[in-house]
């Protein structure tokens, strides 16, 4: 991204964007094969813009679980039109998914935590593992204030679960900075955000929440708050690192 593209932003936003771009470039310099798991939420819009305009060496992919909102597919199309690039989309393995549905029913993920996690595992985690295979680091759009478990995250961590580094360049951005960036640059975003959805995942498992509530409360509303992670960011021990040390 040239300085001209950033100059339309406020000083604070410009500095945020420059810091994030610096982290992304540093990640590419150190880890070479870096990918971005694009969840198509508001943070993803900012990261997609930063990556496709400033650090295009990073491969962007999304996972189509088969249960997304129609508005999310609309957004995929609008992003591709806006940037003139195609998102790489990964899908669940058909035999696994067919077996799970046969055993648990089409909406069996509502029957308990085990069923919900096994559905997420087949529809999200397995395609994610395939997508990151061969990469040295993956980028996430998590922010500290999204949930108590994310408050302790570090910009660079060794992700022992998946065996690669995890880069989180938006950790210190506030929600308002994310939305200001999108508004200022007139970027496409999911229209459900204007209908009370702070976080958008699969249609049966995401709902609108009253303004000001914890963002993750819109996911799996029938579960306890501490279990509301999809498996891609489970609450596990990770080791904080500085990029320059590797
Ligand atoms: S969010 Fe819901 S529908 Fe989507 S993979 Fe997880 S349990 Fe299945």
From the CB of residue 137, how many other CB atoms can be counted at a distance below 10 Å?
25
The pick from 65, 223, 228 for probing ligand 1's pocket by mutation, whose C-beta has the most ligand atoms within 8 angstroms, reads: 65
Q: Which residue has the higher pLDDT, 237 or 85?
A: 85
- Please name the fold of domain 3-131+173-234: Rossmann fold (3.40.50)
Q: Each residue of 100-135: pLDDT tens digit? A: 999 999 999 999 999 999 999 999 999 999 999 999
Q: Each residue of 157-182: pLDDT tens digit? A: 999 999 999 999 999 999 999 999 99
pTM: 0.84
pLDDT, average across residues 199-214: 83
Evaluate: CB of 228 within 6 angstroms of ligand 1. no
Evaluate: CB of 231 within 6 angstroms of ligand 1. no
CB neighbour list of residue 27: distance below 8 Å, 6 or more residues apart: 34, 58, 137, 139, 156, 165, 167, 243
Where do we find the tokens 């963002």?
A: 215
Range with lowest mean pLDDT among 26-30, 48-52, 144-148, 204-208: 144-148
**Domain range summary for the chain, segments of one domain joined by +:** 3-131+173-234
Q: Which residue has the higher pLDDT, 197 or 3?
A: 197
């Amino acid at each position: 991204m040239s300085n001209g593209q950033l100059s339309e932003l406020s000083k604070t936003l410009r500095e945020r964007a420059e810091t994030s771009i610096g982290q992304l470039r540093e990640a590419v310099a150190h880890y070479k094969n870096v990918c971005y798991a694009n969840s198509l939420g508001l943070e993803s819009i900012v990261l997609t813009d930063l990556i496709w305009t400033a650090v295009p060496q990073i491969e962007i992919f999304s996972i189509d679980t088969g249960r997304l909102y129609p508005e999310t597919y609309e957004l995929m199309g609008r992003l591709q039109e806006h940037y003139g690039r195609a998102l790489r989309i990964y899908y669940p393995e058909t035999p696994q998914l067919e077996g799970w549905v046969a055993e648990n029913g089409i909406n069996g993920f509502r029957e308990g935590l085990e069923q919900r996690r096994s559905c997420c595992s087949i529809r999200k985690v397995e395609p994610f593992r395939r997508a990151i295979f061969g990469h040295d680091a993956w980028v996430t759009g998590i922010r500290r204030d999204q949930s108590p478990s994310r408050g302790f995250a570090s910009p660079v961590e060794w992700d022992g679960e998946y065996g690669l580094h995890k880069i989180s360049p938006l950790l210190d951005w506030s929600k308002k900075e994310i939305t200001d960036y999108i508004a200022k640059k007139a970027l496409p975003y999911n229209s459900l955000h204007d209908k009370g959805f702070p976080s958008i995942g699969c249609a049966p498992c995401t709902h609108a929440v009253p303004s000001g509530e914890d963002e993750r409360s819109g996911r799996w509303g029938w579960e306890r708050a501490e279990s509301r992670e999809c498996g891609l960011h489970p609450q596990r021990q990770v080791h904080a690192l500085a990029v320059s040390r590797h």
